[in-house]
Amino acid sequence: MKAKFKTSCVECGDQISPGKEIAKNGSGTWVHKHCAPEALEFA
Ligand SMILES: [Zn+2]
C-alpha cells in the first residue's frame, strides 16, 4: 500500500514520504516495501 503520512523506516532509517509504497515488517512496523521481509511483501 502507499504511505499516507510522513514517517521513517526502522529498517534503513530513511524517511518514508507520503505516496511511497510501504509494507509491514515482522514487528508490525511500517517500512519501505523494499525493506520489508520477503515473506510479508504480499500480505
Ligand atoms: Zn527502508
| Nearest one of 28, 43, 34 to 14, comparing CA atoms | 34
pLDDT at 26: 85
pLDDT at 2: 95
In the numeric block, the cell 507520503 is attached to: 18
Contact 15, 9 (CB under 8 A): yes
What separation in Å is there between the alpha carbon of 39 and the centre of ligand 1?
Answer: 16
pLDDT at 37: 81
Ion ligand 1 residue ranges (Cβ < 5 Å): 9, 11-12, 32, 35
Q: Is 31 exposed, middle or buried (0-12, 13-18, 19+ CB in 10 A)?
A: buried
Q: What is the pLDDT of residues 1-43, one digit of tens each?
A: 899 999 999 999 999 999 999 999 888 899 999 999 865 555 5
What separation in Å is there between the alpha carbon of 19 and the centre of ligand 1?
Answer: 14
